[in-house]
């Protein structure tokens, strides 16, 4: 490779690293729900953990593996209200998923590779719930 090619590749790699460093999780609003997901890498996981106190629902996704458990990403999250209307349907970009929902009762589904886990939740003003979902390796 000539010097010009090496410099161009170096600049391209530096730009890609800068882009990834600035791609922090941001809140997304869909209908009545606002959510944030991520947690891959120390910066993202720190940001998500700091934001968790502002969200009534905090989900964490884990794969039970040997010799050590692993965090999971690409989890399909679906939340339905008491009348079975889907109020949130999203894919988590990392092992943490935060959601703001109006007060009420909900049915939560989290799916990974066709394996669906579910949980009933009640959101009340000022509450905070941390729910962990685990799948086998």
Domain boundaries, the chain: 25-136
76: nearest Cα among 136, 133, 137, 24: 133
CATH of 25-136, one of 3.30.420.10, 2.60.40.10, 3.40.190.10, 2.40.128.720: 2.60.40.10
> Given a cut of 50, is residue 8 above it in pLDDT?
no
| Whole-number pLDDT of residue 87 | 98
Span 75-114, pLDDT tens digits:
999 999 999 999 999 999 999 999 999 999 999 999 999 9
pLDDT at 60: 97
Please enumerate in sequence order all residues whose Cβ is within 8 A of that of 76, keeping only pairs 6 or more positions apart, or say none.
89, 90, 91, 92, 109, 110, 111, 112
Read off the pLDDT of residues 20-63 as tens digits, 9 standing for 90 and up: 445 689 999 999 999 999 999 999 999 999 999 999 999 999 99
């Amino acid at each position: 490779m000539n010097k010009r090619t090496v410099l161009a590749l170096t600049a391209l790699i530096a730009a890609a690293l800068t882009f990834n460093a600035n791609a922090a999780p941001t809140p997304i609003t869909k209908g009545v729900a606002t959510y944030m997901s991520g947690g891959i890498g120390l910066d993202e996981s720190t940001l998500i953990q700091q934001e968790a106190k502002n969200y009534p629902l905090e989900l964490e996704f884990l794969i039970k593996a040997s010799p050590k458990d692993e965090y999971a990403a690409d989890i399909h999250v679906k939340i339905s209200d008491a009348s079975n209307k889907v109020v949130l349907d999203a894919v988590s970009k990392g092992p943490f998923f935060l959601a703001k929902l109006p007060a009420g009762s909900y049915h939560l589904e989290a799916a990974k590779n066709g394996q669906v886990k579910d949980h009933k939740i009640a959101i009340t003003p000022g509450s905070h719930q941390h729910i962990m979902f685990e799948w086998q390796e």
